[in-house]
Amino acid sequence: MRLSPSAHVDTFCRDRLPPQDQWPEFLYDLPQLRYPERLNCAAELLDATAARDGEDRPCLRSPAETWTYGETVRRTNQLAQVLTEDFGLQPGNRVLLRGPNGPWLAAAWLAVIKAGGVVLTTMALLRAREIAAIAGLTEPNLALCDYRFAAVLPASPRWPCTSTGTCWPPATPSPTT
């Protein structure tokens, strides 16, 4: 199988693919499996669904809140803009996500993809030593961390917000926490 040209400026992931003889066989025989050369899955999963089915439909739910597709599109676009314009995220850069499961973690995941990044989502139960091992293998360019998890995020000169978590909303606890 021939790889198509990548939009990733940072080729870290592609450079670390296994040898081609170790790849599975990719079959795209079904019509619904024919994709364009370039595809942003976040835009397809979120933006296209909002446009097709309506922005007022529920998209992300937690016990404390529900975000509509429109709200989720706006928040992910804002975060993607901050990642690229304020933090200099380039296509292919890795972004480590650290936080509890909820709308903000999902929005951060979608925003990183929209911005062209590669998401490294970590489980909330991982300790600093385990996060450091993941970071050592994946070499993230940026970390987005919920303030409640910032204390166990290993320090790195590559991450502008390792001690306070201030680059990821919410900056203050919600009434339910």
Contacts 24+ apart (CB under 8 A), 140-143: 140/94, 140/95, 140/96, 141/10, 141/89, 141/90, 141/93, 141/94, 141/95, 142/83, 142/87, 142/89, 142/93, 142/94, 142/95, 142/96, 142/117, 143/95, 143/96, 143/97, 143/98
Residue 162 has pLDDT above 50, yes or no: no
Residue 57 has pLDDT above 80, yes or no: yes
Per the structure, the complete domain to which residue 143 belongs is given by: 40-177
Does 10 fall in a domain?
Answer: no
Does 34 fall in a domain?
Answer: no
Mean pLDDT of 149-162: 65
Does 70 fall in a domain?
Answer: yes
**CATH classification at residue 141:** 3.40.50.980
Per-residue pLDDT tens digits for 106-152 = 999 999 999 999 999 998 889 888 988 998 899 999 999 888 888 87
Give the residue, 54 or 156, on which the prediction is more confident: 54
Q: Strand runs (DSSP E) across 34-172, as ranges?
A: 58-61, 66-68, 94-98, 118-121, 142-145
Residue 177 has pLDDT above 50, yes or no: no
Does 125 fall in a domain?
Answer: yes
Does 11 fall in a domain?
Answer: no
Does 8 fall in a domain?
Answer: no
How many structural domains comprise the chain? 1
Does 24 fall in a domain?
Answer: no
Does 99 fall in a domain?
Answer: yes
Q: What is the pLDDT at residue 156?
A: 63
